[in-house]
Amino acid sequence: MERRTLEPRPDRRERARRMGFAFADVAGEPYWDESAYYRFTEGEIDALEAATAEIERISRAAVAHAVANDLNGPLGIPDGAWPIVKRSWERAEPSLYGRLDLRWDGTGEPKLLEYNADTPTALFEAAVVQWEWLQCLDDGRGPELHDQFNGLHEALIAAWGRIGLPPTVHFCCDGSSVEDRGTVDYLRDTAIQAGHEAPFLTMEEIGWNGVVFTDLEDRPIEAMFKLYPWDWLLREAFGANIAKARTRWIEPAWRLIPASKAFLSLIWHLFPDHPNLLAAHLEPGLTGGPEIAKPIWGREGSNISAPGIETDGPYADQPRVWQAYAELPRFGGRYPVIGSWIIDGAPAGIGIREDSTPVTRDTSRFVPHLFD
């Protein structure tokens, strides 16, 4: 694993525009950053794929354990929401996608930092934008000599056809975030290619007629992809209707379990000393070394504390999990996190975000990768 620099393509912005990538730049700074890329060997990619599959395997086992033993309290899931979560698991409602954030420098075992199981983003960048970059790569060797751990696009289209959804799947998110909307539109794109109708509406536009959730034309919503966290849905006025409605949700409600960062403690408890895990507990001082404290429903690196690090944000009043602190590796002055994607339960590719600090935030840049 190494970081290499190169000259960005002069037409990268036009290319981003033409593929509908609306957030390639943020406030005049590149979010999509092709001034560098990460190069892996095939063996390193095999190691990432194997670790991803293994973490997914033990995660499913941990979810089953949580459901069987009603561990919603330690996970931070309210009693009122737990029947919805349990029912979703017991019905074996399929997951479409998730992203494991891994710490790795190419040596030893990749370590799970957290599981973005409910509303992962940075998907379009990983599936399409970095692949298009690879097709254009001119490093004197020709693109045909390189490969990329990236079967995301095909895997998503195939998954839509496998997870047993009705012909129309509604898609929703908060309408004000360009990144969220771009991610949802990419998923709509793949659902349409799988043969679904895929209308969009904002969260506020979802209706309730006393029996079912409805769209803006008062049609029943039978299946809904929501880029909107379950821990928010279940706190809102319409959350009480979820148990009554027959709507299929993607991601399903059981994904609330691995999405809770308290899950890191549960999975460590069930699989102690697992080579792909970092020690984690619901109390400080138990890992035997430096720790990072994370709010259990926190996002984008907000409100974390670690040696030499304190970040602010809106989650300060939440319960926290304390995880053994493993600082991100540094390559060329940048700290990368490897986002390893799982589509329909199987590893399907990676995307890398890097920052100039050891904390990955909402401003951290997405950089492409290849292997050869």
Taking the least distance from each CB to another protein, the nearer of 193 and 305 is: 193
Per CB under 8 A, contacts with another protein among 6-25 are 13-25
* φ/ψ of residue 74, rounded to 5: -60, -25
Q: With CB under 8 A as the contact rule, which of the stretches 56-64, 85-93, 203-211, 328-336 interacts with another protein? A: 203-211
Per CB under 8 A, contacts with another protein among 161-200 are 172-183, 185-186, 188-189, 192-193, 198, 200
- According to DSSP, the β-strands at 170-173 and 200-202 are parallel
Which one of residues 6, 64, 136, 211 is an interface residue with another protein (CB under 8 A)?
Answer: 136
Minimum separation from the CB atom of position 213 to another protein (A) = 9
> Do residues 1 and 334 make contact, with C-beta atoms less than 8 angstroms apart?
no
Does residue 158 interact with another protein by CB under 8 A?
no
Which one of residues 72, 150, 265, 287 is an interface residue with another protein (CB under 8 A)?
Answer: 150
Q: With CB under 8 A as the contact rule, which of the stretches 2-10, 53-61, 149-157, 161-169 interacts with another protein? A: 149-157
Per CB under 8 A, contacts with another protein among 25-64 are 25-28, 31, 45
Which one of residues 59, 88, 121, 340 is an interface residue with another protein (CB under 8 A)?
Answer: 121
Task: Build a one-symbol-per-residue string for 207-226: x at contacts with another protein by CB under 8 A, - elsewhere.
Answer: xxxx---x------------
Minimum separation from the CB atom of position 179 to another protein (A) = 5
Place of tokens 């590893």: 347
Total residues contacting another protein by CB under 8 A comes to: 103
DSSP string computed for 100-143: EEEE--SSS--EEEEEE-SS---HHIIIIIHHHHHHH--SSS-G
Residue 145 buriedness (CB in 10 A; 0-12 / 13-18 / 19+): exposed
Per CB under 8 A, contacts with another protein among 225-264 are 227-229, 231-241
DSSP3 helix / strand / coil % (the chain, rounded to 5)? 30, 25, 45
Minimum separation from the CB atom of position 154 to another protein (A) = 6
User: How big is the chain, counted in residues?
Assistant: 372
Contacts of 276 (CB under 8 A, 6+ apart): 51, 54, 55, 109, 110, 111, 112
**What Å distances lie between residue 106 and 42, 46, 99, 136, 279, CA to CA?**
11, 11, 19, 26, 20
Q: With CB under 8 A as the contact rule, which of the stretches 2-10, 125-133, 160-168, 270-278 interacts with another protein? A: 125-133
Q: What is the Cα–Cα distance from 35 to 184, expressed in whole angstroms?
A: 27
Which one of residues 110, 252, 258, 349 is an interface residue with another protein (CB under 8 A)?
Answer: 349
Q: What is the Cα–Cα distance from 321 to 318, expressed in whole angstroms?
A: 10
Taking the least distance from each CB to another protein, the nearer of 64 and 178 is: 178
Per CB under 8 A, contacts with another protein among 299-318 are 299-300, 312-315, 317-318
